[in-house]
């Protein structure tokens, strides 16, 4: 019995000693052991790198990110973090090489490409906190149903179909876009940024002067490293002018979180609330009744391959209008494939939107309105210096095509199917 008690006491002492030894290990040491036992786990590797950055082990974080890239060569999130570390360590040449690798990888997530452009545009020392970048585009096109008339010029009024005199007509247009970004790092050793953006777009038709639209959008965002990824908090506001007359004023806020699920697989989840204030407009009675709050939730996935990128997203929205019959519930699914297998860069996209109206204007019909919009399109881009996949700061030629098919259970809202084809030149700076 005495031997038995001595044995139990020995086990207790060994357990206490083992616990004390484990307790003496730092959080970084514990995580490093997990990575050592499961080196292919990219989530654990990213968790270790971010912890090392948090505790100031910059060289350790660099080694962890280099191990990720040794296994997953084109993992652009690791390249982006490693580029920032190289700038902190005073290695601008290596940092720039990594930024260029991300930018030239046209199959990388758009978020990473844009961040690499912004950071590469800044000065080459970690003490310089500001960076500036932008985008300009000019072109023209042809839209088959610019006026958005009803199918076969028919409308429904109190369950009786009438013929209208408005005709569907193809219209040529010119379009220009300019976008400017200013980014400020919150501190030299941080991956947290303040981002400001201003975008202006103008579309003018050759003969359909009432269809001219001009939009202004300004946004301010904080991009903060948290929860194993990044959170982006955005405030935005803008105006839409139609035929040079104020048509909509809007403002809103959004929150999005993105992080890596697996090698070259990024998820983004978020939500937004936007207020649209419709203005008094000549020829449109009670236009202000369309004023609404749009509440949306979204989730998207981006998977990058060596020469291809797949994007998929779901958006769920509720449009809460001043008058019920302008309010509706919307569900949208989007899919896109981007590849540089062929000459230049080719993108194919598909979108399906379903709108369900909670209330109908009984003056029009006793039925509840249901709309379905089926869209598919393509974009082909080529650099005018490389004559292949566009490179950073290279003038790029683009050809865009879009086809919309409309379905509605009410004749008033059954629109003619339309096509839009355009050619443009663009440049990042």
Q: Tell me the two tokens of residue 198.
A: 């201003």
The answer on 150 and 94 residing in a single domain is no
**Kind of pairing between the strands at 308-321 and 292-304:** antiparallel
Neighbours of 367 (CB within 10 A): 13
The answer on 137 and 89 residing in a single domain is no
Q: Tell me the two tokens of residue 380.
A: 């082909």
At 275, which helix (H) or strand (E)? strand 265-278
Find all residues with CB under 8 Å of 352, minimum gap 6, and list them: 332, 333, 372, 373, 374, 375
Q: Give me Rg for the CA atoms of the chain.
A: 27
> Residue 327 and residue 297: Cα distance in Å, rounded?
17
DSSP state for residue 13 in the 8-state scheme: H
The answer on 162 and 94 residing in a single domain is no
The answer on 274 and 420 residing in a single domain is yes
What is the model's pTM?
0.79
Predicted confidence (pLDDT) per residue in 166-218, tens digit: 666 788 999 999 999 998 888 766 778 899 999 999 999 988 888 899 999 99
- Distance set, CA 189 to CA 47, 100, 113, 382, 390 (Å): 17, 21, 21, 37, 32
Locus of tokens 């360590």 = 89
> Residue 169 and residue 146: Cα distance in Å, rounded?
7
Q: Would you say 221 and 194 are in contact if contact means Cβ atoms under 8 Å apart?
A: yes
Q: Would you say 336 and 353 are in contact if contact means Cβ atoms under 8 Å apart?
A: no
Q: Domain of residue 71: give its range.
A: 2-104
CATH of the domain at 311: 2.40.160.40
Q: Please count the structural domains in the chain.
A: 2
> Residue 45 and residue 228: Cα distance in Å, rounded?
11
Q: Would you say 57 and 63 are in contact if contact means Cβ atoms under 8 Å apart?
A: no
Predicted confidence (pLDDT) per residue in 284-293, tens digit: 777 788 889 9
The answer on 83 and 203 residing in a single domain is no
> Residue 48 and residue 131: Cα distance in Å, rounded?
28
Q: Give pLDDT, residue 213.
A: 92
User: DSSP readout, 39-103?
Assistant: TT-HHHHHHHHHHHHHHT-HHHHHHHHHHHHHHSTT-HHHHHHHHHHHHHTT-HHHHHHHHHHHH
Q: Is residue 128 part of a domain?
A: no
Q: Give pLDDT, residue 43.
A: 77
Q: Give pLDDT, residue 333.
A: 97
Taking the alpha carbons at both ends of the chain, their separation in whole angstroms is 83
Q: Is residue 274 part of a domain?
A: yes
The number of residues making up the chain comes to 429
- Nearest CA-CA partner of 64 in 381, 55, 124, 350: 55
Q: Is residue 116 part of a domain?
A: no
Q: Tell me the two tokens of residue 48.
A: 């270790």
Single out the residue in 58, 83, 104 at which a domain terminates: 104
The answer on 15 and 85 residing in a single domain is yes
Strand ranges (DSSP E) for 130-228? 130-143, 154-157, 160-163, 171-185, 193-205, 213-226
The answer on 91 and 193 residing in a single domain is no
> Residue 257 and residue 252: Cα distance in Å, rounded?
17
Q: Is residue 124 part of a domain?
A: no
- Nearest CA-CA partner of 352 in 369, 368, 340, 335: 335
The answer on 139 and 88 residing in a single domain is no
The answer on 140 and 91 residing in a single domain is no
Q: Give pLDDT, residue 65.
A: 84
Q: Tell me the two tokens of residue 266.
A: 């990024």
Q: Is residue 109 part of a domain?
A: no
In this structure, the dihedral spanned by the alpha carbons of residues 168, 171, 173 and 179, taken in order and rounded to 10 degrees, is 20
The answer on 205 and 346 residing in a single domain is yes
The three-class DSSP label of residue 363 is: coil
Q: Give pLDDT, residue 189.
A: 67
Q: Would you say 408 and 369 are in contact if contact means Cβ atoms under 8 Å apart?
A: yes
Residue segments in the chain with a per-residue pLDDT below the cut of 70: 1-25, 28, 36, 122-127, 149-168, 188-189, 359-366, 411
Q: Is residue 73 part of a domain?
A: yes
Q: Is residue 359 part of a domain?
A: yes
């Amino acid at each position: 019995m005495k031997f038995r008690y001595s044995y139990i006491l020995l086990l207790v002492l060994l357990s206490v000693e083992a616990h004390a030894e484990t307790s003496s290990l730092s959080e970084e040491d514990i995580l490093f052991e997990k990575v050592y036992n499961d080196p292919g786990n990219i989530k654990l590797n990213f968790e270790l790198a971010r912890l090392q950055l948090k505790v100031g082990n910059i060289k350790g974080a660099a080694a962890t990110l280099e191990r990720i890239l040794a296994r997953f060569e084109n993992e652009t999130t690791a390249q982006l973090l490693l580029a920032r570390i190289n700038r902190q360590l005073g290695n601008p040449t290596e940092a720039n090489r990594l930024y260029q690798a991300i930018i030239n990888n046209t199959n990388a997530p758009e978020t990473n490409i844009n961040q690499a452009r912004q950071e590469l545009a800044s000065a080459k020392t970690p003490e310089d906190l500001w960076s500036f970048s932008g985008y300009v585009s000019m072109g023209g096109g042809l839209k088959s149903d610019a006026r958005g008339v009803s199918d076969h010029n028919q409308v429904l009024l109190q369950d009786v179909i009438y013929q209208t005199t408005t005709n569907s007509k193809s219209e040529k247009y010119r379009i220009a876009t300019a976008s400017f970004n200013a980014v400020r790092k919150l501190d030299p050793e941080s991956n947290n940024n303040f981002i400001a953006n201003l975008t202006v777009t103008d579309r003018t038709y050759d003969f359909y002067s009432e269809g001219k639209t001009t939009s202004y959008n300004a946004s301010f965002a904080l991009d903060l490293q948290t929860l194993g990824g990044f959170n982006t908090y955005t405030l935005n506001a803008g105006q839409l002018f139609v035929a040079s007359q104020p048509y909509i004023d809007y403002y809103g806020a959004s929150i999005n979180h993105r992080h890596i699920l697996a090698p070259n697989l990024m998820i983004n989840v978020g939500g937004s609330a936007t207020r649209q204030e419709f203005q008094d407009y000549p020829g449109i009675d009670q236009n202000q009744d369309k004023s609404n709050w749009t509440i949306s939730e979204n989730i998207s996935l981006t998977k990058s391959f060596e020469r291809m990128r797949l994007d998929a997203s779901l958006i769920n929205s509720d449009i809460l209008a001043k008058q019920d019959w302008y309010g509706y519930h919307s569900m949208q699914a989007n899919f896109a494939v981007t590849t540089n297998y062929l000459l230049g860069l080719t993108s194919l996209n598909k979108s399906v939107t379903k709108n369900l109206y909670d209330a109908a204007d009984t003056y029009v019909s006793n039925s509840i309105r249901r709309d379905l919009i089926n869209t598919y399109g393509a974009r082909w881009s080529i650099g005018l210096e490389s004559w292949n996949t566009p490179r950073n700061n290279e003038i790029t030629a683009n050809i865009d095509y879009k086809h919309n098919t409309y379905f509605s259970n009410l004749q008033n809202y059954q629109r003619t199917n339309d096509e839009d084809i355009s050619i443009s030149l663009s440049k990042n700076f």
